[in-house]
Amino acid sequence: MSEHVDTICVQGGYQPGNGESRTPPIIQATTFKYTSSEQMSRLFDLSESGYFYTRLQNPTNDTVAAKICEMEGGVAAMLTSSGQAANFFALFNICNEGDHIVASSAIYGGTFNLINVTMRKMGVTCTFVSPDCSEEELEAAFQPNTKAVFGESIANPALIVLDFEKFAEAAHRHGVPLIVDNTFPTPINCRPIEFGVDIVTHATTKYMDGHGSCVGGAIVDSGNFDWMAHAEKFPGLTTPDDSYHGVVYAKDFGKAAFITKATAQLMRDFGSTPAPINSWIMGMHLESLGVRMERHCANALAVAEFLEADPRISWVSFPGLPDDRYHALAEKYMPNGTCGVIAFGVPGGRETVSAFLDHLKMISIATHVADARSCVLYPAGTTHRQLTEQQLEEAGVGIDLVRLSCGIENAADIIADLKQALDAVL
C-alpha cells in the first residue's frame, strides 16, 4: 500500500477479491453462524479469531478500523460508538481503582469531565498540567501509581498544539504510555505515533465523517509500548485474565495486546459498539478526507487572516498563522497544515458574543465541529459551561472565545457572513 495517507484514505483497509464488491460490504448483522460448537468455544476462549456477536466485533467495523490503523501507522485498531467512548476505553483499559493519570488541562470539556468527574468516581484520579508546562512541572505531576498520560494533538477549543516529544519522553521515563486524541488534525496532517505517541484516539464524528451524519470513535495502538517491561504497572495486560481462562494479553497477542483486551473486556462489558451502517458511512466519507482537509485548512487560513486584520476582534488563535504562539510546534509536527478550526475573541461580554452568533446566516450555531458545513459555538456558554472560571482559564477557554469551524464552502462566503454579523453588533 502507498506511503501517502491520502491514498490510504481511498484504498486502505479493504482489498476485494475477484468478483467481489468494489466497495466494502455492510454486514448489518448481530450474530454469525457456525456449524461446530467446538469452534464457537474456541472463539469465546480467544484461541481462534472470528466473529460471533457484533457487540464485540463486526466485519464492517473492522474494515474501517483497519483503514484508520493504516492511516495512523499503527498495528491494531478498533472502532467505538463515539469519541468519548474511545477516550474512556483507551484510559480505562490500563487504569484500575486507585490509579492515577496525568493529563493536559487544555482538552475538550466533555473529556475533562470524563476524567475529572466520572473516572474519579471510579477511583481513578488525575493531575492536570498546562500543555505549556516546563519539564520540571510535568515531572512533578507524576505519582507512583500513574498509569497514563493524556492530551490532544490540537486542543479543542483552545487550539494549543501539544509538544508530543516533551510529553512522550516524560511518560516513558515513568514507564507509562502517552495517549493522544488526534481528532482535529487527523492523520492527513499529523501522525503522532511518528513522534513517540503510543496510542491515538479519534472522534470519527468530526473530520473523518465530516458530514454530520454518524457519531463514532477509534483507538489505534502503535504497538511500540512494551507492556511486559513494566509488567507490575499493568497487571490487566501482563497477568492471567480469569474471565478468559487465563489469557495473558501481552504474551498471547503481542503487539495486538492492547486492542485485544479493550475488545474482549471493555466492549464485551460496556457494549459501546458502533452500528455497522454508521461505520460504513464514515468509511465512505473517509475516502475524501485528504481533499477535504486541504480545503478546510486553506479556508481557515484565509478566515484567520481576515479576523486578524479586523480591529473589532480582540485576538485570533490559529496555529497556521505565522505569528501564532504555536506555529513553530505546528510546523514541527504538522507541516502540511493543522485543521479548519479557529478560536477568536469577541469583546463586549456574553451578551455581545451571543448576539454576534445570532446574526450569522450561513454559518450555523451547532454543538459540532470539523464538518463540511461551517459552524460556530460559544464554548464558555455550552460545552465548557460546567467548568469554573479557573478551570476555563486553565483550559484556555475565555469568556470571549468563539470557536469557528470553517467548512468547505467558498472562503469568501464564510468571510462575508462573519463581516455582516460583526457589522450588526460591533
- Determine the average pLDDT of the residues in 63-78: 98
244-260 pLDDT tens trace: 889 999 999 999 999 99
Distance CA 32, CA 39 (A): 12
- Determine the average pLDDT of the residues in 401-409: 96
87-115 pLDDT tens trace: 999 999 999 999 999 999 999 988 999 99
- Determine the average pLDDT of the residues in 354-364: 96
Please name the fold of domain 5-277: Aspartate Aminotransferase; domain 2 (3.40.640)
Q: Where in the chain is the domain with CATH 3.90.1150.10?
A: 290-424
Q: Where in the chain is the domain with CATH 3.40.640.10?
A: 5-277
Band the pLDDT of 48: cuts 50, 70, 90. Answer: confident
Band the pLDDT of 1: cuts 50, 70, 90. Answer: low
Does residue 242 or residue 411 have the better pLDDT? 411
Three cell numbers written together for 404: 469557528
Band the pLDDT of 338: cuts 50, 70, 90. Answer: very high
Q: What strands lie across the sheet with 315-317, from one edge to the other?
A: 315-317, 341-345, 401-405, 375-377, 364-365
**For residue 420, what pLDDT is reported?**
98
Distance CA 146, CA 169 (A): 15
Residue 73, pLDDT > 80, answer: yes
Residue 384, pLDDT > 90, answer: no
Residue 386, pLDDT > 80, answer: no
170-209 pLDDT tens trace: 999 999 999 999 999 999 999 999 999 999 999 999 999 9
Q: Which amino acid is at 177?
A: P
Domain 290-424 has CATH 3.90.1150.10: yes
- Determine the average pLDDT of the residues in 14-38: 91
Residue 421 CB contacts under 8 Å (≥ 6 apart), including other chains: 356, 357, 359, 360, 361
Distance CA 295, CA 335 (A): 16
Does residue 352 or residue 1 have the better pLDDT? 352
With a pLDDT cut of 90, the percent of the chain lying above it is 84
**Global pTM value:** 0.95
